[in-house]
Amino acid sequence: MRWIGRFGLIGGGLAGALALAGFLLDRAFPPDLSRYHELARTVEAADGSLLRVFATDQGLIRLKTTVEQVDPRYIRYLAAYEDKRFAHHPGVDPLALTRALGQALSDGHAVSGASTLTMQVARLLEPLPRTLGAKLIEMARALQLEWRYSKTEVLDLYLTLAPFGGNLEGVRAASLAYLGKEPRVLTEAEAALLVALPQSPSLTRPDRSNQAALAARAKVLDRLVEAGEIDAATARIAAATPVRQTRKALPFLAPHLAQRLVAAAPARLRHRSFIEPAIQSPLERLAREQLGVIDARANIAAVVVETATSRVVGHVGSAAFFSTRRAGQIDLAMARRSPGSALKPILYAIAFDEHRAHPGTILADVEQRFGAYAPSNFDGGFSGEVTARFALQRSLNVPAVEMLEAIGPRRLLARLAETGITPDLPLGDDGPGLALALGGAALSLEDLVALYAGLARGGEVRPLAVAFETEVLKGGRLVEPEAAALVADILRGAPRPAARGAADSGSIAFKTGTSYGYRDAWAIGFDGRFTVGVWVGRPDATPMPGVTGLSAAAPLLFRIFDALPGGGARSLTILNAPTSDTPPANLAYVSSAKSGLDALKLRFPLDGALVVIGSTPKDLPLQVEGGRRPFTWLVEGVPVVVGLSNRRTAWRPPGPGFYTVSVIDATGAAVRARIEIATQP
C-alpha cells in the first residue's frame, strides 16, 4: 500500500508537471490567428445583406462565417464526411489515428487519413509542408485549439478559412459565388457540394471542371448514405441536380457609397449602410434605363432619402460604373456643380421666413438691371407683374434675383452655413453676387437633397446619414415650419413633365434646375415619406444643348417615386399650409433689404443738376434706387408714371426751365430733385 501511495504521488506530480509544461508552451507559442482576422471588407445593406465585397490585400474573398450563418444540414454533413467523432475528441481522434496507422503498417502505405476538422483548421491557420514533423505540429496545434476554444469556435474557424478554389475562402464566399445565395438555407445537393469542394478545390471548382465537381459531390452523398444522414433516394435526387458551371458575381450595389465608407474607415471590416435593397435595385435599373435616352457622354446620379431620419436608403453615384467614357467611377452625387434654378426654393423659403415676402407678394418679371447684372428668363420673355407663387412654380429668373436682392447674397450664404452647407463660389470673385439666385455657386446633389429634405421636415436641415457606424453630424434650422410649408405648398403645384400630367395629384413637391449652358440638369422633390434627387450631366461639365431639368431629370424623378414603397398611394400632408394667397399689406410688394441701401433715393437726375438738351425734344431718363416697388413719378407735383415696377423710366421735358422731379414708392416714402433743363445754344 505504501508503494501504491508513492506511485500515486509520482503520477500526480508528473501529470501536474505535464499540465504546467503544456500551459507554458501554450502561452509561449499561441496559435497564430492572423489569417482568420485577415478578412475581406464588406459593406452591407440595412437588412444585413451584402452590397459590395472588397478583397483582402492578397486578393482573397475571405468572408467571416459562423455556425449561425450556415444551414445546420451542412454542419451535419461536414461532420459525417470529415470527422464523425468531432463532437467528442479533444482535437485528435485516437480511434482514427490507430486505424490509419494499422492500415498503413498492414498495406505498406497510407490508406485512410486521421485528420480531424480541428487538425485541418490548424493546417489552414499555419500552412506547412506535408511531412511527418508537420503532421505532429498539426496535431499539437489541434490539441491547443481545442484547449483554448469551444467546438463551435473551432467550426467558425473552419467555415471562414476552408478553401473553395480560386480566391474564394470560407463557406459564405463559396455559397455566394457558386450557388448565388447565402448559406443559411441549403438543399441536400448544395450542402453536399460545399462539403466536397475543399477536398481538392483547384481541381473540383465547378467553374473549371463541372464533371469533377459532380463526381466530388457524388462521393460525399455516398458517404452520407453510409453514415445514415440521408437515404439512397434522397442521394440519387441530389446527385442528379445540375451544378452551376459559372461563378456568379458577388453583390455590387451602391458601389460608390460602399467605396466611400471603406475609404473613411479602412480598418473596419464590416460596414452597415442604411441602403434598402428593395429601393436600391430598382433605382439602379431606372438610372441605367434613363441613361439610354440621354447624351452618350452624360451620366446620372440619384439619391433617395428617408425624410424623417435623413438616412440614405438609395444611392447611385453613377449609372455606368465601369464606363470610361462616362467617367463612371466618379461619385457624381458628391460632385459640386451649378444648381441652376434648383436653389430657388431655398431662397424663397428664407424670404418668407424673414417676412420679406409671401406667396401672394407681387414681383416684377420685367427687363431690368441690378447694377451691372441684367438677368433674363429661360425663354427670353417676361411675364410682367406676378405673384411669388407663380414666379417660383414657373421658375422665373428676374423675380428670383429680385428676391435675393431683398435678402442679400451674404445673408443667404450665412443661412446655408447655419445648416452645415457651404456652396463653392467661382474662383476670383470678390464676393457673392445676385447670380447666386440662378446657380452662381456650386452644390452637390447630396447637398440639395439635404436642403429639400429639410424643407419637407419643416425647415430643419440635417446632414445625410449613410451608415450605422458613421458619426451623426449636427445640422441646423434653415427656416421655421411656416415658411417651409409655404414653399412645399408652392412646389407641389409646379408644372409636371409633359408625359406625367397630373398623375400624382399634387402628392409630390418638386423643383427642376438647368445650369448655365445646359451643363447640369436637376430635379429634386419630396412626398410624405421620401426625398429624391436626380442629376444629369456630363462629368467633364461640357454642355448638353437642349437638355434641361424638366426634360431629362424630372421624368426619372417621377419614375423613382413610382417605384418607391407606397408609390401607388402616396400622400403629402403639409402642416401650416396657407389658406389664402392674399399677403399682409406690408408684403404686397417685395422690398429691398440690403444693409445701407434700403432708403429710397434718386440715381438720376440728381438734385441741383443742370441737364442740357438739344433743340429736338428728347426723353430724360429717370432712375431710382432702394425703396419698395411700385413707384410713382411726378413732375411739378403732377403724376407722369404711376405703378411702375421697373426702377427705370423716362420723361420728356416740355422745354427749358426749372422742374421738381419726385418719386414715391409703395410705402409712401418720397424723394425729389430740383433740376434745370437748358437747351444747347
Residues with a known catalytic role? 82, 341
What is the distance between the alpha carbons of residues 415 and 392, in angstroms, rounded to a whole number? 20
CA dihedral 271, 275, 276, 279 (to 10 degrees): -150
Strand, coil or helix: 476: strand
Contact present, 40 and 54 (Cβ < 8 Å): yes
Pairing of strands 270-272, 41-44: parallel
Q: What nine digits make up the cell of 442?
A: 456650386
Contact present, 262 and 466 (Cβ < 8 Å): no
Q: What nine digits make up the cell of 575?
A: 402642416
Closest to 504 (Cα-Cα) out of 487, 521, 527, 486: 527
Closest to 397 (Cα-Cα) out of 364, 361, 360: 364
DSSP collapsed to 3 states, 72-122: HHHHHHHHHHHCCCCCCCCCCCHHHHHHHHHHHHHHCCCCCCCCCHHHHHH
Compute the 3-state secondary structure of the chain and give helix, strand, coil in percent, each to the nearest 5: 40, 20, 45
What is the distance between the alpha carbons of residues 64 and 270, in angstroms, rounded to a whole number? 10
DSSP 188-217: HHHHHHHHHGGGSHHHH-TTT-HHHHHHHH
Residue 228: count other Cβ atoms within 10 Å of its Cβ: 8
Q: Name residue 371's amino acid.
A: G
List the beta bridge partners of residue 513.
Answer: 522
Please list, in sequence order, all residues whose beta carbon lies within 8 angstroms of the beta carbon of residue 647, skipping any fewer than 6 positions away.
368, 623, 624, 625, 629, 631
Contact present, 212 and 138 (Cβ < 8 Å): no
Contact present, 366 and 396 (Cβ < 8 Å): no
Please list, in sequence order, all residues whose beta carbon lies within 8 angstroms of the beta carbon of residue 664, skipping any fewer than 6 positions away.
631, 632, 634, 670
What is the distance between the alpha carbons of residues 661 and 672, in angstroms, rounded to a whole number? 5
Contact present, 61 and 83 (Cβ < 8 Å): no
| CB burial readout 365-404, b (16+ within 10 A) else e | bbebebeeeebebeeeebbebbbbbbbbbbbbbbbbbbbb
